[in-house]
Structure 1
Amino acid sequence: MKVLHLISGGDTGGAKTHIINLCSKLKDVVSLKIICFMYGQFYEEVKNAGIDIDVIQQSSRFDLSVVDKIAHIVEAEGYDIIHCHGARANFIGMFLKRKIKNKPFITTVHSDFDLDFQDVFYKRVVFSYLNKLALKRFDYFVSVGSALIDKIKGLGIREDRIFLLYNGFDFSKEIHYVQKDEFLSKFLDRKVFDSKIVIGNLSRLYKVKGLDVFIKAANIIAKKYPDVIFLIGGSGPQKEFLKQMINEYNLNDRVFLLGSIKNPYDFFNSIDINVISSYSETFPYSILEATALEKCCISSKVGSVPDLIEDGKNGFLFDVGDYKGLAQKIEILLQNKDLIKEFGQLLSKKARERFSAENMARMQFEIYKSILSKK
């Protein structure tokens, strides 16, 4: 079985992590190649993982000259399946499908496609429309988590063309990180974080990530607990808006924007409680990355997160947008600090058992077999 994966190559979120974790295990059971459309961090990480990858550069997002080049590779190298990831690859895949006959085209839906470009108006109008147009042309769909299945069906897709595949993490790999003091000292004076409970949120600074919810909850906690600080790691278009929020709440000595974080494990090793405050998610990798270090997690009740976090049993959930609910969950942990460690261990145990990269690759292989048998 030969599978060609297409992805933009500029990905920095869950899609990037998903395809690296998936292909690092999948390459042992299928012959695969990744083609992306730009050089960058994604390309370097894939190469370092020992995965076959080529770059066919586009001069712009709408440069369709790459279509003929990819079509030639598909025919010359005899790929059985073309598997796309993300809006740009879907757009290319739509045109590629016109040239490649009798081969199944699959796309993995990593997020809510109506919210992917929410922060930039013209992208929200143009790219969202083009992505949904492209999605309707695919033969089969892989939904990252159960919550997106109804969304995909809303495009007019039959349920028998949709497969469920949870994100998986490679818990067997060696994780490298610097110690807490070394990492935090790059951003903060030691007296700011010394002997403090550290609550963190690592995400891109986009509206959908609900960082306003995180800051509002921090405002409640900061008034009652002087020994707690809040860290936000990531970059994005909401940076100035979030800085303004922090100023308005007078939280400059309690809530800190750290900017882009190169190694997520440096961040997760330095916090005590991991928070996901998003308005929408599928199955965020930041939870799995944090569980690898046995970090306790509080998350908004989004996507398939409740399939991992059982509220009050191995972590906490709160309703989307409910900053008071988030603050209440944080307060429970601050009043019973033993739960922080206990929940972290329990969550890590469940993640390792059910959401490993090995399980993900095995399920993806079965999906490929099912699709080829239908062909």
Structure 2
Amino acid sequence: MRIGIVCYPTFGGSGVLATELGKALANEGHAVHFITYRQPVRLNEFNANIFYHEVRVPEYPLFEYPPYELALSSTLVDVIIKYDLDLLHVHYAIPHASAAYMAKQIVKEKTGRDVPFITTLHGTDITLVGKDKTYEPVVTFSINQSDAITAVSNNLREETYKYFNIKKDIQVIYNFVDIQRFDKKPIDAFKKAVAPKGEKIMVHASNFRKVKRVCDVVRIFAKVQSEVPCKLLMVGDGPERPVCEEAINKLGLENEVRFMGKQEQMEEILAISDLFVLPSEYESFGLAALEAMAAHVPVLSSNAGGLPEVNIEGKTGYLFNVGDVDTAAEKATLLLGNDDLLNQFKENAYQQALSFNINNIIPIYEKLYNKFCRCNCPEDE
């Protein structure tokens, strides 16, 4: 198949999932065309079946805000016609679903072809941005015009039906992880540099936006660190980082916490970690938590959104109510203070991750594509 993938090229979950999906499809022999405004951060290897098309947005003094959606639609039309794409798979509804709909109509007018597009909902496109009255009518319309709709968790599916008048079925296809990539042995020198006295290592990774509640990570760590010798790695960057750094300084923990910045090779950091902390206000799924589990790292997370579908209480880690720092710290202290329990949770986390292995999920997407693809390929091919 010839598949067009539209996504944001950033470190966020939707961009990561879309890129990893495209790479896996290319490895299966499909021709995959990425269409976005910058090369996706995880599109970092050569594959003869992968193509990248940059969306260029002309700047004119008349436009206070450059019309990216129009530029994207025009680029989609060009790529569909030039490369004879079979279908589009757009990740994150805003503005990708509406751009795909517009491109579909233009291609139909130009060539008579009805090019299907599949929309995958990822989270804030529904729970935060999409609910804004400014965008809601367009989001609802473009989702309903999609030939197929998928969501990355049951929770997100329910939230979408709750807040939008969606008239079509939404198929849940979970996020996935490349087990082989994250199942790595720790680099001893790296671990000793971070924890020279054998301290336990807690880690958090996100875009440091308000919804991630990064200051809760610091508060939890401060309480745990007073009971169990440990270090904290903060991976990523974003608007809440200065507030987080200020909180660390006030608590006198600047020598116990390292800010790692944005990292593409998370597997090396996770390999030396003992506990992944994700206290988010909301997560549609929690891809970062799943990647931690694939690296044998148990997860301490809030019970918000789709996180309980990934992190199993008392087995792969622990859950707590949003903002309940005391309970979170108690559970983390219990786990990090008991090596036998910690080792059991590490194995449990890995076994849970296996059920989300990329090899289990990719065939589900291929089966969905085949429903709409002109080639109408047999499901076992």
Quickly name the TM-score band, shorter chain normalised: 0.7 to 0.9
Distance in 2 between the 1:194 and 1:82 partners? Answer: 52
Q: Corresponding residue for 1:203?
A: 206
Q: Corresponding residue for 2:287?
A: 285
Contact 1:272 1:296 in 2 (8 A): yes
Unaligned runs of 5+ in 2: 59-65, 109-113, 377-381
Q: Corresponding residue for 2:63?
A: none
Q: Which SS does the other structure have where 2:277 is aligned?
A: strand
Higher relative contact order (CA 8 A, sep 6+): 1
Distance in 2 between the 1:314 and 1:365 partners? Answer: 30
Equivalenced residue count is: 359
Distance in 2 between the 1:183 and 1:260 partners? Answer: 19
Tell me, yes or no, if structure 1 residue 111 matches structure 2 residue 123.
Answer: yes
Q: Corresponding residue for 1:42?
A: 41
- C-alpha root-mean-square deviation of aligned residues, in Å? 3.1
Contact 1:180 1:269 in 2 (8 A): no
2:99 to 76, 79, 92: 92
Distance in 1 between the 2:361 and 2:196 partners? Answer: 38
Query: Which amino acid in 1 is paired with 2:35?
Result: C
Q: CA deviation at 1:156?
A: 0.8
Contact 2:23 2:50 in 1 (8 A): no
Distance in 1 between the 2:188 and 2:144 partners? Answer: 47
Q: Corresponding residue for 2:111?
A: none
Tell me, yes or no, if structure 1 residue 323 matches structure 2 residue 359.
Answer: no
Query: Which amino acid in 2 is paired with 1:164?
Result: V
Q: CA deviation at 1:174?
A: 7.7
Q: Corresponding residue for 1:235?
A: 237
Q: Corresponding residue for 1:362?
A: 363
Contact 1:113 1:132 in 2 (8 A): no
Q: Which SS does the other structure have where 1:42 is aligned?
A: coil
Q: Corresponding residue for 1:52?
A: 50
Distance in 1 between the 2:79 and 2:178 partners? Answer: 30
Query: Which amino acid in 2 is paired with 1:156?
Result: N
Spell out structure 1 runs of 4+ moving beyond 6 A.
Answer: 124-130, 174-178
Q: Corresponding residue for 1:222?
A: 225
Q: CA deviation at 1:112?
A: 2.5
Would the alpha carbon gap of residues 258 and 66 (structure 1) be closer, same or farther in structure 2, given more than 3 Å must change? Answer: closer
Distance in 2 between the 1:111 and 1:137 partners? Answer: 19
Q: CA deviation at 1:201?
A: 0.8
Which residues of 2 match residues 54-203 of structure 1 at below 5 A?
Answer: 54-59=52-57, 62-63=67-68, 64-86=70-92, 87-101=94-108, 102-113=114-125, 134-135=142-143, 137-153=145-161, 154-160=163-169, 162-173=170-181, 179-182=187-190, 185=193, 193-203=196-206
Query: Which amino acid in 2 is paired with 1:194?
Result: K
Unaligned runs of 5+ in 1: 119-123
Query: Which amino acid in 2 is paired with 1:204?
Result: N
Q: CA deviation at 1:372?
A: 5.8
Partner deviation per Cα, 1:267-325 (whole Å, 9 max, x = no partner) = 11222111122111122222232223211222211333322322112321112222112
Distance in 1 between the 2:133 and 2:166 partners? Answer: 22
Q: CA deviation at 1:33?
A: 2.2
Q: Corresponding residue for 2:3?
A: 3
300-309 vs 162-171, which moves further: 300-309
Would the alpha carbon gap of residues 164 and 284 (structure 1) be closer, same or farther in structure 2, given more than 3 Å must change? Answer: same
Would the alpha carbon gap of residues 116 and 12 (structure 1) be closer, same or farther in structure 2, given more than 3 Å must change? Answer: farther
Would the alpha carbon gap of residues 365 and 94 (structure 1) be closer, same or farther in structure 2, given more than 3 Å must change? Answer: same
TM-score of the aligned structures, taking structure 2 as reference length = 0.82
Q: CA deviation at 1:345?
A: 0.9
Q: CA deviation at 1:236?
A: 0.8
Distance in 1 between the 2:21 and 2:253 partners? Answer: 40
Would the alpha carbon gap of residues 39 and 347 (structure 1) be closer, same or farther in structure 2, given more than 3 Å must change? Answer: same
TM-score of the aligned structures, taking structure 1 as reference length = 0.84
2:250 to 243, 248, 261: 248
75-84 vs 323-332, which moves further: 75-84
Of all paired residues, the percent bearing the same amino acid is: 20
